[in-house]
Amino acid sequence: MNKLKMPTEKGVPSNSRVLMLLAQLERMNGEAMLVDTENVRQITFKILHLIQTQEKTRKELMSKGSSGMDIILVSLENTQDLQTTLNILYILNELLTVGGGRKVSVFLSKGGTSILLQLLVSASKESLPSEEVMLQLHSLLAKVGPKDKKFGVKARLIGALNVTVNLMKQNLQNHKLLLPCLQVLRVFSANSVNAISLGKNGVVDLMFKVVGPYSKKNTSLLKICLDTLAALLKSKTNARRAVDRGHVAALLAIYQDWHQNDTRHRHILIRKGILTCLKNVINIKLGRKAFVDADGMRILYNTSTECLPVRTLDPLVNTSSLIMRKCFPKNRLPLPTIKSAFHFQLPNVSATGVPHMYNQPPGVDDVVDESDDNEDTEADTEIDTENENENEEDDKEQNAENDDIETDLNKLRPKQCHSRPFEELRIYERFFRELSEDFSQGCTFDNAKAGGNTSTSLPSPKSPQQIIVPKSQALSSKQHSATPTQEECPPAKQERPHTQTLPSSLPYPRREPDTVLITKEEVDGEALKQASNLHPNPNPRSQAGLDFEQELVQELERVALKREGFHVARVEKQGAKPLSPHNGKGAPLPPLVGSITEAGKGGLGGPDCTKDDGLEEEGGDRGVLEVPDTAILLPLHDPDLYVELVNGTHSVPQYSEVAYPDYFGHVAPTFREHILERVYGVQRLKIFQDIERLIHPNDILDKVVYDLDIPSFPVIDDGETLKFNSQFESGNLRKAIQVRRNEYDLVLNSDINCNHYHQWFYFEVSGMRINATYRFNVINCEKSNSQFNYGMQVLMYSVQEAINGRPRWVRTGTDICYYKNHFSRSAIAAGGQKGKSYYTMTFTMTFNHKDDVCYFAYHYPYTYSTLKMHLSKLEGLRTPQIYLRQDVLCNTLGGNSCPLLTITAMPESTTSDHICQFRNRPLIFLSARVHPGETNASWVMKGTLEFLMGTSPQAQSLRETYIFKIVPMLNPDGVINGNHRCSLSGEDLNRQWQNPSPELHPTIFHTKSLLQYLAAIQRAPLVFCDYHGHSRKKNVFMYGCSVKETVWHSNNGASSCDLHEDLGYRTLPKILSQMASAFSMASCSFVVERSKETTARVVVWREIGVLRSYTMESTLCGCDQGKYKGLQIGTRELEEMGAQFCVALLRLKRMTSPLELRSQAHLMDAESDLIETCSKVARSGSDRLNT
């Protein structure tokens, strides 16, 4: 034994009495302790008295450097005297009771746990074990056990488990001793091996002898017992044992009893403990079955419903909800197959050509399989977004990304050689005529500037047409093969004059293509006036006058309905057989736009709608509706041109209808749309409503009202049921089921030739009643979380609102949430993972107009035909100073053309210097919409194209600086057919860049070939950027590529220090973060992940050698920073982002080539003007309207 160390802490006397007593006790350790037991009793008693009466004594014993604890523990080991043992146990209890943390650590470091356990076993072997010794030992073990990580192992090896169990069995009525024994047993049970061993010894049954019905007595004992039982039931063996003994029903009965009697809610922890036991039992299949058989769903549903009004009972409600969700029987998704309702036959390629294509043998049920009842279901730690913080979800995603980081430096370093011979790439020279154009052959320079540079001729805009509106008689006849009469034909179109007489006051200021807000500051009235003087608009319409809504109504009244009471439902594709809104059968009718019926006859009209003699004389049985001239409101939109271009769009389902929003257009609202603040408990409420389907099955209608899997599915028109439709370009809704009177389950269609990717939706709803609250549930979502849980709303377009002067998509819906549902997701659909479920996105909606026609979408739709229309209109914006050429890069699998744009400035003259400068401009390569569901990428691209085609000095400077090669839509087929992520090959095209197939991935193959050609001629782009949308993050941000940052994030710090890299890849994102309100530098990442090595960004960086190769991600939700903080993003902000990207390229040029730009002073002025004045004009007018 070491000599007693005297404490040296300030304030502790060296001649302390307790230290003297400890010195005496140390000298007596050994044989003296067995001989002089009375003296040892006196010394230990005096030490105990000092500890109980003097605070400083405890400090002296536990002070740093003191060996007091060693002496006490050695004495405890050596003594055989009962009283001395009790004195020392009392001393330890006193020392460890106050200020436990550090003192317990000291106790553990001295080996105290093993000494106590050994003493426990020794004491149990005595003929009459001392109850007081057992009480004190278990009290001490209960204090130190939770702090000792190996406590359970030590207890099992020493043999202390059975000692505690036997002691409990003998003292079930001795609550004073039973309590510490349960506390120790709870710690024992935390070890899984111990839990199984204790279960074999009958401890689970023993616990149910303690747990009982409601009582005001011994509540602390019952709480500890329930905690112990919950720990034991984590073992599947013990859970099965509890099920076999019928303990599930007993737990439910006990819980019900406590719920009924604990009216003042003083024993919430006991009730929570019972639920925790149930939650652990139902982790096994037998437990779930026993729970359902014992009517557990109804019991917990009823008790939870009664608890809902009391906020303090939320822990009970949340746990009950989790139990019910896990025990809810897994339902089959109401589909015949998870494959898409549409099929496209792929060209004959090798079997390895389509590695991800879904191909299941006939007769195999791919909707559900044996995995649905697998015991290894998802853990109860599933995302419960009721109380989850969005930042926590971001952290989880970031951790997942860190596991995916590429660590192989060989895969990170750029390739040194080209993968294709130049002779193969020479055919792409025809797409780069600007690099060899001399502007002298065949025409003069002036003629070249005035003439076209497009490789294809686009249809010219036509005059507004009158729309023939069928009455109810006409709609009835559409169900038969009636030949259209002469009177039914629309009046002949008249050519639109080049100049139109417009009203002096328009409903919305016409925006010049490049007057987009670029800076973060607001402009006041004086600045706006100065900007107008600096850049006068020759069109007086740009001066916003009266209130937007009033002026828009006045304008539309001039050109809108000639017959009141009719609403436009949809636009049917010209030159095709229109579909009947009732039975889907085609009939050879003249080209129609709209499908309208009278009120009172299943139509959309008002209640007082009667026949109009004038209309009958003009159009027989049809009313005439003159569509408002959208071109007045939107410079790049023309309804007639849109319908004409739709005829050349090829879809797999051969759509013959045009959705009204696409036909009429979208005018961005002038008001701000805030991120929706989530109502507390809304997700829980929705889940309870889902559980009601099992509790009250008689209340469920389960009526299919729309089904793409059944050809010519009849339209139910009973006045109570909503009507659905998605058979138009970009539409996606496979099935609609009426669950309750005002509740509908919606099933999305998977991507063609694929078995998953359910996220994008776009569908039509009609037949609604006003002031009725409807609930819509999209039940086959796949992602584990969504921005719908963090304030994002769905988008709705009301036809009635459009006719009333508000043609726009608006954020809408309340009680929005996203959660895991009870529909099973087969292993086939889950990529081989078993026991997965789908997720529900639910929202409620109250409609403002009776029998309106409304469209709902995941995000602002942007169709392929819309792109073609915008490109055609952009052609009209070309001036002699703009070099614009549109080529067809290739045709897609579906037979649609993929446009390629070249935009730059014409050379100033045909002199060799100007031609040389023209040819040697750096190239910027942009692409978008490789993922069809990311429609925001197209709106950003629209902003970029409008800016590039603008007439401002900034746009001209940008064109003079760069040559832009743009592929605005990489996946036209996916966009047309309503896919979310894939092309018709059933593959994600942004994972095919490493080795694209010319047959299966033509747009990627030829786009990569363009870049390979540029690399081969030493003209690799200065910047490559692929526009995308992000569904789980806010703001706009970029992904880039960096070897150094990738290695650094892989925790290989030594390697990263040795790497040298050009940091120019950070310049463009940094510029954007300084000038774009929606852009977040903090969200940017330049790490290369393994899963992204086949994406455009990484392949262009690695194989083409483009340092600044980016993916620019735009949020689908909104922003949490800057000027747009707390707002949902709209088309105006997205287009603004596209323009801001262009301005950032100007700054980039200045930073990379400062001397060159100093010689072009107008570039510096252009940036300044854009930031301070001109670009604020469009926004400032609408901001005034907001105020």
Contacts of 410 (CB under 8 A, 6+ apart): none
Low-confidence winner among 355-359, 728-732, 1182-1186 (lowest mean pLDDT): 1182-1186
CA gap 428, 794 in Å, rounded: 42
Percent of the chain with pLDDT over 70: 72
Residue 68: pLDDT band by 50, 70, 90 thresholds?
confident
CB 941 within 8 A of CB 934: no
Q: What is the pLDDT of residue 395?
A: 54
- Helix/strand/coil (H/E/C) assignment for every residue in 695-735: HCHHHCCCEEEEECCCCCCCCCCCCCCCEEECCCCCCECCE
Paired strand residues for 709: none
CA gap 452, 286 in Å, rounded: 75
Q: What is the pLDDT of residue 504?
A: 31
CB 1056 within 8 A of CB 1044: yes
Alpha helix ranges (H) inside 926-1023: 936-948, 953-961, 972-976, 1002-1016
CA gap 69, 75 in Å, rounded: 10
Do the bridges between strand 963-967 and strand 897-905 make them parallel or antiparallel, or are there none, so unpaired? Answer: antiparallel
Structure tokens at 387: 């109380």
CB 1146 within 8 A of CB 1069: no
Percent of the chain with pLDDT over 90: 55
44 closest CA partner among 26, 29, 30, 25: 25
CB 111 within 8 A of CB 65: no
Question: What are the Cα distances from residue 82, in Å, to 33, 43, 493, 732?
Answer: 13, 14, 112, 81
Taking only the tens place, the pLDDT of each residue in 514-544 is 444 444 333 333 333 333 333 334 343 333 3
**Mean pLDDT, residues 1002-1018:** 96
Structure tokens at 1106: 């483009």
Low-confidence winner among 282-296, 659-673, 1143-1157 (lowest mean pLDDT): 1143-1157
CB 891 within 8 A of CB 899: no
Q: What is the pLDDT of residue 524?
A: 38
CB 747 within 8 A of CB 779: yes
Residue 25: pLDDT band by 50, 70, 90 thresholds?
confident
867 closest CA partner among 934, 797, 938, 928: 938
Taking only the tens place, the pLDDT of each residue in 331-349 is 889 999 889 999 999 987 6
C-alpha 620, offset from chain centre:
51
Identify whether 1113 is a catalytic site residue: yes
Taking only the tens place, the pLDDT of each residue in 676-710 is 998 888 999 999 999 999 999 999 999 999 999 99
Position 814: which residue type? Answer: T
Position 19: which residue type? Answer: L
What backbone torsions phi and psi does residue 166 show, to the nearest 5 degrees? -65, -35
CB 523 within 8 A of CB 1173: yes
Q: What is the pLDDT of residue 402?
A: 57
Taking only the tens place, the pLDDT of each residue in 1079-1101 is 999 999 999 998 899 999 999 99
Q: Check pLDDT > 70 for residue 457.
A: no
993 closest CA partner among 925, 1109, 1092, 891: 1092
Contacts of 349 (CB under 8 A, 6+ apart): 997, 999, 1000
Contacts of 1151 (CB under 8 A, 6+ apart): 1067, 1071
Position 203: which residue type? Answer: V
What backbone torsions phi and psi does residue 451 show, to the nearest 5 degrees? -80, 180
CA gap 464, 628 in Å, rounded: 8
Query: DSSP secondary structure string, 231-279?
Result: HHTTSHHHHHHHHHTTHHHHHHHHHHHHHHH-TT---HHHHHHHHHHHH
223 closest CA partner among 183, 278, 282: 183
Query: DSSP secondary structure string, 897-915?
Result: EEEEEEEEEPPSSSSHHHH
Alpha helix ranges (H) inside 949-1095: 953-961, 972-976, 1002-1016, 1043-1049, 1053-1057, 1067-1075
Q: What is the pLDDT of residue 835?
A: 67
Coil, helix or strand at residue 1124: helix
Residue 797's Cβ-count burial label (10 Å; 0-12, 13-18, 19+) is: buried
169 closest CA partner among 219, 203, 197, 135: 203
Q: Check pLDDT > 90 for residue 189.
A: yes
CB 950 within 8 A of CB 963: no
Q: What is the pLDDT of residue 5?
A: 43
Question: What are the Cα distances from residue 1103, in Å, to 410, 419, 991, 1045, 1095?
Answer: 13, 8, 15, 19, 12
CA gap 1175, 519 in Å, rounded: 8
Coil, helix or strand at residue 812: strand
CA gap 811, 674 in Å, rounded: 9
CB 281 within 8 A of CB 233: yes
- Helix/strand/coil (H/E/C) assignment for every residue in 297-317: HHHHHHHHHHHCCCHHHHHHH
318 closest CA partner among 361, 369, 279, 355: 279
Contacts of 634 (CB under 8 A, 6+ apart): 665, 666, 667
CA gap 616, 608 in Å, rounded: 17
588 closest CA partner among 485, 670, 461, 473: 485
Paired strand residues for 623: 469
Q: What is the pLDDT of residue 497?
A: 33
Most confident of 2-11, 410-419, 869-878, 1167-1176: 869-878
Residue of 386, 488, 1113, 1167 marked catalytic: 1113
Q: Check pLDDT > 60 for residue 327.
A: yes
Low-confidence winner among 133-137, 157-161, 1052-1056 (lowest mean pLDDT): 1052-1056
Length of the chain, please? Answer: 1187
CB 1149 within 8 A of CB 924: no
Low-confidence winner among 69-78, 496-505, 1127-1136 (lowest mean pLDDT): 496-505
1020 closest CA partner among 410, 433, 411, 418: 418
Instruction: Say which DSSP state 483 is in.
Output: P
With b for 16 or more beta-carbon neighbours within 10 A and e for fewer, the 73-93 pattern comes to bbbbebbebeebbbbbbbbbb
What backbone torsions phi and psi does residue 48 show, to the nearest 5 degrees? -60, -40
Coil, helix or strand at residue 653: coil
With b for 16 or more beta-carbon neighbours within 10 A and e for fewer, the 942-972 pattern comes to bbbbbbbbbbbbbbbbbbbbbbbbbbbbbbb
CB 340 within 8 A of CB 750: yes
CB 259 within 8 A of CB 303: yes
